[in-house]
Amino acid sequence: MLRIGDAQYQELRRHGEEAYPHESCGVLLGRVAGDERVVTSIVRCGNARLDSPSDRYHIDPRELLRAQRLGRERGDDVVGFYHSHPDHPARWSTTDLAEAHWLGCSYVITSVERGRAEATSSFVLEGKGEDAKRFEEEEVRVASASTSPDEARPGHREGTAASDVRLP
């Protein structure tokens, strides 16, 4: 499960809207507690894929280093990443899986349709290594700042490998 504060949740969705029609991307800092990743802050990153920013993203490793350092200063770790899919569903693509290497981290995807953030889903990169990695969808629980009970936002139900590749 991914636990995230409402402010951070809104912030990463807003980043997707601002970057539209390009893909936004950033780092989630926080702590791991058992099967849960708790996000305490997010770090916006620039999309380093200047050649096709509308359907690819790449975080410059230097930005990642900075985010890691920031996290260490606060006693936080990198627990995941977020990016947006402009005019495309909030499910992982084969490219996302091929280029995901942070096992055990959350990969949050927000679908931005015509400039408006729609569904946000999160997938954990599971498996023992590069040869056997897979995305598992996880629940995103947004802790609202104003309303006390946690508001559960079930992820977008889609995105198994088979449906993603659309075999006949």
Partner 1 sequence: MKIFIPTPLRPYADGKDTVDVSARNVGEALAGLVAAHPDLRHHLYTDDGKLRAFVNVYVNDEDVRYLEREATATKEGDTLSIVPSIAGGQVPKAAALSNDEILRYSRHLIMPEVGMEGQERLKAAKVLCVGAGGLGSPLALYLAAAGVGTLGLVDFDVVDYTNLQRQILHSTSDVGRKKLDSAAEKLRAINPYLTLRPFETRLTSDNALEIVREFDLVVDGTDNFPTRYLVNDACVLTRRPNVYGSIFRFEGQVSVFATREGPCYRCLYPEPPPAGLVPSCAEGGVLGILPGLVGVMQATEAIKLILGRGEPLVGRLLLVDALRMSFRELKLRKDPSCPACGEKPTVTRLVDYDAFCGVRGEEATVSTGVPEIQVEELKRMLDAGEDPYILDVREPHEYRICNLGGHLIPLGELPRRLHELDSSREIVAHCRSGGRSAKAIALLRQAGFKKVHNLAGGILAWADRIDRTMPKY
Q: Which is nearer to partner 1, 3 or 83 (CB)?
A: 83
Q: Which is nearer to partner 1, 23 or 142 (CB)?
A: 23
Q: Which is nearer to partner 1, 126 or 150 (CB)?
A: 126
Query: Would residue 137 show up in a list of annotated catalytic residues for this protein?
Result: no
Q: Are strands 151-153 and 140-143 parallel, antiparallel or unpaired?
A: antiparallel
Catalytic position from the list 23, 36, 99, 118: 23
Nearest distance, CB of residue 31 and partner 1, angstroms: 10
Does position 44 interact with partner 1 (CB under 8 A)? The reply is: no
Residue 68: its H or E element = helix 61-74
Nearest distance, CB of residue 94 and partner 1, angstroms: 4
Taking CB under 8 A as the criterion, the residue among 4, 42, 57, 159 binding partner 1 is 57
Q: Is the peptide bond before 89 cis (omega within 30 degrees of 0)?
A: no
CA–CA separation, 142 vs 88, rounded Å? Answer: 23
Q: Are strands 2-5 and 36-45 parallel, antiparallel or unpaired?
A: parallel
Subset of residues 74 to 133 that bind partner 1, contact rule: CB under 8 A:
77-79, 81, 83, 85-88, 92-105, 107, 125, 129-130
Q: Which is nearer to partner 1, 95 or 144 (CB)?
A: 95
62: left (phi over 0), alpha (psi -120 to 50) or beta: alpha
First and final CA of the chain: distance in angstroms?
32
Question: At which residue do the structure tokens 């084969």 appear?
Answer: 94
Q: Are strands 77-86 and 25-33 parallel, antiparallel or unpaired?
A: antiparallel
Q: Which residues bind partner 1 (CB under 8 A)?
A: 23, 25, 27, 32, 49, 51-52, 55-59, 61-62, 64-65, 68, 77-79, 81, 83, 85-88, 92-105, 107, 125, 129-130, 165-168
- Looking at the annotation, which residues are catalytic? 23
